[in-house]
Amino acid sequence: MLEVYKGLSFDNIDGGVWKQGWRIEVDEKDWNKHNKLKVFVVPHSHNDPGWIKTVEEYYTTQTKHILDNMLSKLPEDPRRKFIWAEISYFAMWWDELEDDDKEKVKRLLRANQLEIVTGGWVMNDEANSHWVSVVHQLTEGHQWLQRNLNYTPLSHWSIDPFGMSLTQPALLKEMGLQNMLIHRIHYSVKKKLALNKNLEFRWRQLWDGKGKTEMFTHMMPFYSYDIPHTCGPDPKICCQFDFKRLPNHGVHCPWRVPPQVITEKKCRRKLLLDQYRKKSKLFKTNVVLVPLGDDFRYDHPSEWEVQYENYQRLFDYMNHNLNLNVKAQFGTLSDYFAALRKEMKVSEFPVLSGDFFTYADRDDHYWSGYYTSRPFYKRMDRVLLSYIRAAESIYGLAYFSKKPGYSWIVDKEVGLEKLISNARQALSLFQHHDGITGTEKDHVVVDYGKRMLSAINSCQRIIQICTHILLNGLEAEVPDKDVNYYNIDDVRHSHNALPEHYQITIGVPELRTKSVVIYNPLTFTRHEVVTFYVSTPFIELTDFKGKRIHCQISPIFEYGSTMSMTKFLLSFVANIPALGLVSYTVNAVLENELPSETVLAKVKIFNHYGDVQAPNGFIPDISPIPNEFTLQNSRVTASFSKIGLLKALKIRKTTVPVHLDFAQYGTRMIHNLESSGAYLFLPDKEDAVPLKIENVGVNVIEGVVLSTVMVQLPYVHHTAVLYNTSGADSLGLEIQNVVDITKTNNFELVMRLSTNINSSDEFFTDLNGFQIIRRKRFKKLPLQANYYPIPTMAYIEDKQTRLTIVTGSPLGCSSLYPGQIEVMLDRRLNQDDNLGLNQGVMDNHPTRHIFRILLEQVTHALRRKITPAGFPSLSAHVASQSLLNPLVRMLRVKDEDVVSKGAYTTVDHEFGVDFSFAYPPTERLHKRKIVYGFGRPSSICRHRVLLQQFPLSHGTVNITGLLALDPSKRLHKSSLSFSLVKNEVDGKGNLPMCPMEMQAFVI
Ligand SMILES: [Zn+2]
């Protein structure tokens, strides 16, 4: 695709009736009785699970009626067909059906009158979503279909997501789907592909040389998926064949020619056939696909009647006139693909690789605003994903441990399965293309937020209970499921507020100790910093064997340079094995008994006049003048400017200037032209304007465990942290920005990193945290077209150096100058951008974004030949894994607990950091039908030295070893959503896994 972009002029020439195309000519003689045009008209209804209304509101007012009508109207004529995509709605409807209606649905499916396309919980967004969440949402739908209808989808239907990711076909292929249809793609790309009849192709992964990953793909050619833009190139004519727009049905044709009822006299079949014929000229075969539907269509019985009856008459009149050489009929999506495959072998279609970002529907309307809109909830999505991973893995560990309580957690009535299932559904729902995208009404995003909050709390509950089961000595009683044994140190009271943390209140002589427990949800050992608030600086920290541990106590700045007298930050390096639980004990000591292992941090305050009252034990170094300074750990030295912002990074002996700054965009305000909104980014200038920052106080903490710089800037509370560990958190500099733009108007805030890296016009961004793709900045395109999604990371490089930014929130980013990376942090827009939402984005909340900035020398391993794919470095991969899956920190509720063990781990060897345990035990544990997913999603650049700290797998996985399974258990491979069970494999042995491969197993 990058090559296509290089060749395109993006000239946007007016093509006439097909504005973004050209005048298509047809010759009737192209068809004869041996070579008929085969037309499949596919009725559909696009149902957003939340957009203008919440999912519940849509269901009761519209969707329920659509599905009810389907049930009564499809059986009236066996020639009628219908397709459905969103299983979230289908499941709601199914639960209300009587048994004989359920049988009716099954009959319609068997008779191929109804097809379930894709079968996901939602039609997921492809820009911001994480691949594991996409797997979750597809699995949620596929498992539902299998359980209730014994049905496996064959074809994928994605008509509304705003740009298409290459990760989607990779996942669908592994789930056994065979065809896909995509729509929202840049109009110039569509035109280019249409000119060469390349709108149908084999979509192949960038790393795939052999074609193993190819998916057969149909790209819709025209502007929209509504009826005026699907029958052929002329919307004025196609609109006359949308019979819902007949007079008195409430909808009209903007081209001012209404439809007419089809009768023998006025059959108008030639008018429509001409459009079908013209459309067929854009494709290689004689089979034409004509979707017939729109948003929430077919909600009234009369619409079913006018559409199905008039079209059936049209088909009859066309088919009976043999001179027309056409066979037109209703069809499902798979009917179309089957007919097409009969005419031409899939292997004869061209191969295409790459993705379809950034989408533009017309002119300079690039949909790159939604990469960042509502970033508070985008961050929440990643938090929920990490909790689901932690909850699922610990749930599986607790079950296999056979410890007291293991059986009730899988009990159908009182167990934890429902909590996990609800959490998965909340995450799945938010993957919808008006969910995580931030393009929904205010009250709808609140609905998603509340569901996600409840899901996070459910996951916390599971982790609390399972931790108790795992650490419980065998002599202890079966846990009381209503008692809370552990508090997770991440308290979320509201769907739109930042989390709060507990404070460990201890002292001498009472309340002397407090135990904390850390859980590592990843499959590799972690040596990373954890922090807790404590009420006194005078503590000693011991591990579960009673050995003292090095720790650091830092003061907490509450406002400006004012420090808390009652609250301190305890930090230490926790060593937690893969999928392990380890406890530590915090003991209060007298001031004069402070052990040498406990070190109080050094405090420096720059640009501050006068005294600062410091808590007992701390002597701050106060300077009235601003200063430049450096912080370092064993890997990196970071230099900061007088205003406390990063200036340079040094690794080994190489120093690279890395200037961090913040800048803003406004929105263009030109009469009759759109301004920025939830979807569109239409900046007012060709460059962001740097924020004016002067005279800020800079607070610095230096210590053995971590060092930090804190500054309060306009709109951003900015913190840079350097961890001193041998783990993933120390590989670069961590940046935490608490962003608050609630008092601005038409304001978009970006963070920029400017370096001397000679990256010319190239940069790399990831797709769904699954793979990395090369991007090129084009001068021929406006700024907003050069913006791309950054779901987990982006990097720039030259022959010597690579700079990677790893993010904990999916956002929008670009590289607008050589050596520079820009990430958008938040946007506040006062107006609608005319794409149907009918409101601006004004519901911003203070939002915490976390980034890790990694500077690396380009070694032999990083240097690869020029390919459209990029590869994360080993450091970037582990930094991202650890950022997205933080260690879970818990406080034991009962201090006098003597029964619980200090640690739990079953994994006796390392699995390799490149290996990802995507989602462990899912439903029906109690029926012993347990399913596991594994993945090695990243092809990683190896690094000789780092490999000792972060060993890679040897390309194999041993499942029984990971889960401490009974080795006699039979293990089968399955499709990625567990719908198709395949051959039996030897679970005891090492199963081979290639880079970028995903595998799922059923036990
Ligand atoms: Zn939609």
Q: What is the pLDDT of residue 925?
A: 41
CB 539 within 8 A of CB 553: yes
- Give the best-scoring range by mean pLDDT among 162-166, 267-271, 519-523: 162-166
What residues act catalytically? 160
What distance in angstroms lies between residue 767's CA and the mean position of ligand 1's atoms? 21
Closest C-alpha to 169, from 47, 351, 367, 438? 351
- pLDDT tens by residue, 742-770: 999 999 999 999 999 999 999 999 999 99
Residue by residue, DSSP assigns 384-414 as HHHHHHHHHHHHHHHHHHT-TTTTGGG-TTT
- pLDDT tens by residue, 14-56: 999 999 999 999 999 999 999 999 999 999 999 999 999 999 9
Helix, strand or coil for residue 916?
strand
- pLDDT tens by residue, 514-539: 999 999 999 889 999 999 999 999 99
Closest C-alpha to 373, from 433, 288, 318? 433
- pLDDT tens by residue, 951-961: 777 777 777 77
**How far apart, in whole angstroms, are the C-alpha atoms of residue 209 and residue 434?**
35
**β-pairing, 621-623 with 602-606?**
parallel
Residue at token pair 């090129």:
776
Sheet with 562-576: strands ordered across: 503-504, 526-534, 562-576, 551-559, 598-600
What distance in angstroms lies between residue 47's CA and the mean position of ligand 1's atoms? 7
What distance in angstroms lies between residue 777's CA and the mean position of ligand 1's atoms? 29
Chain centre distance of CA 254: 37
Residue by residue, DSSP assigns 632-698 as E-SSEEEEE-TTS-EEEEEETTEEEEEEEEEEEE-B---TTS----SS---BSSSSPEEPP--S--E
Closest C-alpha to 979, from 26, 394, 152? 152
CB 721 within 8 A of CB 583: no
**How far apart, in whole angstroms, are the C-alpha atoms of residue 450 and residue 572?**
34
CB 475 within 8 A of CB 899: yes
What distance in angstroms lies between residue 109's CA and the mean position of ligand 1's atoms? 24
Closest C-alpha to 644, from 685, 699, 706, 590? 699
Q: pLDDT higher for 988 or 44? A: 44
Q: What is the pLDDT of residue 929?
A: 45
Q: How confident is the model at residue 987 (pLDDT cuts 50, 70, 90)?
A: confident
Mean confidence (pLDDT) of the chain: 92
What is the CA angle 89-90-93, rounded to 5? 90
**How far apart, in whole angstroms, are the C-alpha atoms of residue 324 and residue 268?**
13
What distance in angstroms lies between residue 153's CA and the mean position of ligand 1's atoms? 20
Q: What phi and psi, each to the nearest 5 degrees, are found at residue 118?
A: 60, -55
Residue at token pair 């006139």:
321
Closest C-alpha to 837, from 181, 138, 162? 162
Angle between helices 375-401 and 417-430 (to 10 degrees): 150
**How far apart, in whole angstroms, are the C-alpha atoms of residue 331 and residue 325?**
18
Work out the end-to-end distance of the chain between its first and last CA atoms, rounded to an integer number of angstroms: 41
Q: How confident is the model at residue 945 (pLDDT cuts 50, 70, 90)?
A: low
Q: What is the pLDDT of residue 971?
A: 81
**How far apart, in whole angstroms, are the C-alpha atoms of residue 382 and residue 375?**
11
Instruction: Inform me whether the pLDDT recorded for 163 exceeds 50.
Output: yes
- pLDDT tens by residue, 291-306: 999 999 999 999 999 9
Q: What is the pLDDT of residue 931?
A: 53
- Residue 812 pairs in a beta bridge with 789
Helix, strand or coil for residue 320?
helix
What distance in angstroms lies between residue 536's CA and the mean position of ligand 1's atoms? 53
Cα 789 to Cα 54, 165, 367, 501: the distances in Å are: 26, 10, 11, 31
Cα 793 to Cα 128, 265, 783, 806: the distances in Å are: 12, 62, 20, 4
Return the number of other C-beta atoms located less than 10 Å from residue 443's C-beta.
13
Q: How confident is the model at residue 601 (pLDDT cuts 50, 70, 90)?
A: very high
Please, which residues have CB within 8 angstroms of residue 74's CB and are 6 or more apart in sequence?
80, 81, 82, 108, 113, 114
Closest C-alpha to 357, from 810, 927, 800? 810
What distance in angstroms lies between residue 305's CA and the mean position of ligand 1's atoms? 25
Q: Based on C-alpha coordinates, what's the Rg of the chain?
A: 30
Classify burial at 673, counting beta carbons within 10 Å of its beta carbon; exposed 0-12, middle 13-18, buried 19 or more: exposed
Helix, strand or coil for residue 838?
coil
Q: What is the pLDDT of residue 476?
A: 60
Q: What is the pLDDT of residue 611?
A: 87
Arithmetic mean of pLDDT, 896-917: 78
Letter string b/e over residues 351-372, b meaning 16 or more CB atoms within 10 A of that residue's CB: ebbbbbbbbbbeebbbbbbbbb
DSSP classification of residue 798: -
SS (H, E, C) 927-996: HCCCEEEEEECCCCECCHHHHHHCCCCCCEECHHHHHCCCCCCCEEEECCCCCCEEEEECCCCCEECCCC
Please, which residues have CB within 8 angstroms of residue 534's CB and are 6 or more apart in sequence?
503, 504, 506, 553, 567, 568, 569, 570, 586
What distance in angstroms lies between residue 976's CA and the mean position of ligand 1's atoms? 25
Please, which residues have CB within 8 angstroms of residue 450's CB and are 6 or more apart in sequence?
495
What distance in angstroms lies between residue 928's CA and the mean position of ligand 1's atoms? 38
CB 370 within 8 A of CB 127: yes
- Residue 554 pairs in a beta bridge with 569
Q: What phi and psi, each to the nearest 5 degrees, are found at residue 211?
A: 95, 10
Q: What is the pLDDT of residue 218?
A: 98
Cα 812 to Cα 343, 714, 869, 895: the distances in Å are: 42, 21, 19, 46
Q: What is the pLDDT of residue 864?
A: 59
**How far apart, in whole angstroms, are the C-alpha atoms of residue 1002 and residue 970?**
8
What distance in angstroms lies between residue 294's CA and the mean position of ligand 1's atoms? 10
Q: What is the pLDDT of residue 175?
A: 95
DSSP classification of residue 480: P
- Residue 153 pairs in a beta bridge with none
Arithmetic mean of pLDDT, 59-66: 98
CB 44 within 8 A of CB 293: yes
Q: How confident is the model at residue 932 (pLDDT cuts 50, 70, 90)?
A: low
Instruction: Inform me whether the pLDDT recorded for 115 exceeds 60.
Output: yes
Q: What is the pLDDT of residue 935?
A: 58
Identity of the amino acid at 345: K
Instruction: Inform me whether the pLDDT recorded for 1001 exceeds 90.
Output: no
What distance in angstroms lies between residue 296's CA and the mean position of ligand 1's atoms? 10
Q: Which helix H or strand E contains 890, and what residues bound it? A: strand 888-892
358 preceded by cis ω (within 30°)?
yes
**How far apart, in whole angstroms, are the C-alpha atoms of residue 888 and residue 510?**
28
**β-pairing, 931-936 with 916-919?**
antiparallel
Identity of the amino acid at 131: W
**β-pairing, 82-84 with 114-116?**
parallel
What distance in angstroms lies between residue 510's CA and the mean position of ligand 1's atoms? 59
What distance in angstroms lies between residue 368's CA and the mean position of ligand 1's atoms? 17
Reading the block at residue 952, the tokens are 């890679």
Reading the block at residue 186, the tokens are 């840049």
Residue by residue, DSSP assigns 58-89 as HIIIIIHHHHHHHHHHGGG-TT--EEE--HHH
Q: What is the pLDDT of residue 926?
A: 39
Helix, strand or coil for residue 718?
strand
Q: What phi and psi, each to the nearest 5 degrees, are found at residue 221?
A: -80, -25
Instruction: Inform me whether the pLDDT recorded for 404 exceeds 70.
Output: yes
